[in-house]
Homo-oligomer: A and B are copies of this chain.
């Protein structure tokens, strides 16, 4: 097989990055304590604040989304505090794992990809908690959780609401201030289509008021706030200068497209995958109800009978398209296609077409073109 470095990545991150972004990353090194870095860092923070839809400050952490997830918990939960974590996928589970390192954790667990129970959430809040943490878009199961409703419940009971928006910021509707999200964070390698290695976080006044004395040092958000207010603005420790340069260029692309169009494109991409799945007789993995919806940035489907995970994904990869499998206990049971970042309608058609070809090879498709046809009807609206 030829190695051309041009595999089309249709996974829920890392996503392909634009040549402009690559060039911004590959520029000669420059210092992180000067005007030039400060200007780039501030531009990132301003555009990110627009994407989070917040008037609060945003900080960029040189570390992946998990670093920001830990910062979210570790800065407000001390050993005597209680945090409620909600799990209906791998990243909800991670909230719980992190919560257990910092305080008392009340876990609400649901089968991955199934709805959470709002009454149970309220019952847990009635017992008292300093914070409640939930994933907006559960990437592992491709289900979107009812953050508005849960934020309201959290506030009704005096708890901070922490939202993992790693796979929605820059690709789906996020309204940090309007929904009353106290801490939200995102990852660079997802919807904004920057390289992996950075994450960003924002805190409400209430969250700042609740900050603990000794958060983890590298993730101490007070230090980020202090350095961020320097002139030129800085980060407390040496940041990934090249990555922040790349992130800035990626965010300019997001701005150029316009957030409304970008959300629309992501939603149409996911709708195209679902339409293709329907036409090809492939079952969607998540079970939704009126409070939950299918993700707009990733779609999870059950692996059809008659083909294995390895065959399905391996043969697509041989044809130049990378998609994702399931994580943890879903490995071998589901596959996932991202509609995330700067993908085009053509990328999506190519992906569906390749999926069809692989399924056809295994005798699982009657008429080649069924999936592409269904997908295209959604995509012509991009």
Smallest CB-CB A-B distances: 6 pairs: A197-B240, A26-B26, A66-B237, A22-B26, A195-B242, A64-B238
Q: Bound state CA distance, A148 and B153, in angstroms?
A: 58
A65 sits at the interface (CB 8 A): yes
Q: Bound state CA distance, A198 and B197, in angstroms?
A: 9
A218 touches which of B6, B63, B189 (Cβ 8 Å): B63
Instruction: List 17 A-B pairs, Cβ < 8 Å.
Output: A6-B28, A14-B32, A14-B238, A14-B241, A15-B29, A62-B63, A63-B67, A64-B237, A64-B240, A65-B237, A70-B217, A101-B216, A196-B239, A197-B240, A216-B219, A240-B240, A242-B246
A367 sits at the interface (CB 8 A): no
Does A322 lie within 8 Å of B196, measured CB to CB?
Answer: no
Min CB–CB distance A304 → chain B (angstroms): 23
Question: A residues within 8 Å of B by Cβ?
Answer: 5-7, 9, 11, 13-17, 22-23, 25-32, 62-67, 70, 74, 97-98, 100-101, 187, 189, 195-198, 214-219, 236-243, 246, 322
A197 touches which of B6, B11, B70, B242 (Cβ 8 Å): B242
Does A22 lie within 8 Å of B28, measured CB to CB?
Answer: yes
Q: Give every chain B residue within 8 A of A29 (Cβ-Cβ).
A: 9, 14-17, 189, 195
CB closest chain-B residue, reference A66: B237
Q: Give every chain B residue within 8 A of A67 (Cβ-Cβ).
A: 62-63, 218, 237
Q: Bound state CA distance, A9 and B34, in angstroms?
A: 12
Q: Give every chain B residue within 8 A of A26 (Cβ-Cβ).
A: 22-23, 25-26
Min CB–CB distance A346 → chain B (angstroms): 17
Does B28 lie within 8 Å of A25, measured CB to CB?
Answer: no
Q: Give every chain B residue within 8 A of A23 (Cβ-Cβ).
A: 26
Does B238 lie within 8 Å of A65, measured CB to CB?
Answer: yes
Does A197 lie within 8 Å of B197, measured CB to CB?
Answer: yes
Q: Give every chain B residue within 8 A of A238 (Cβ-Cβ).
A: 13-14, 64-66, 187, 189, 196-197
Min CB–CB distance A134 → chain B (angstroms): 18
A70 and B11 in contact, given A28-B22, A197-B241 (Cβ under 8 angstroms): no
Q: Give every chain B residue within 8 A of A7 (Cβ-Cβ).
A: 30
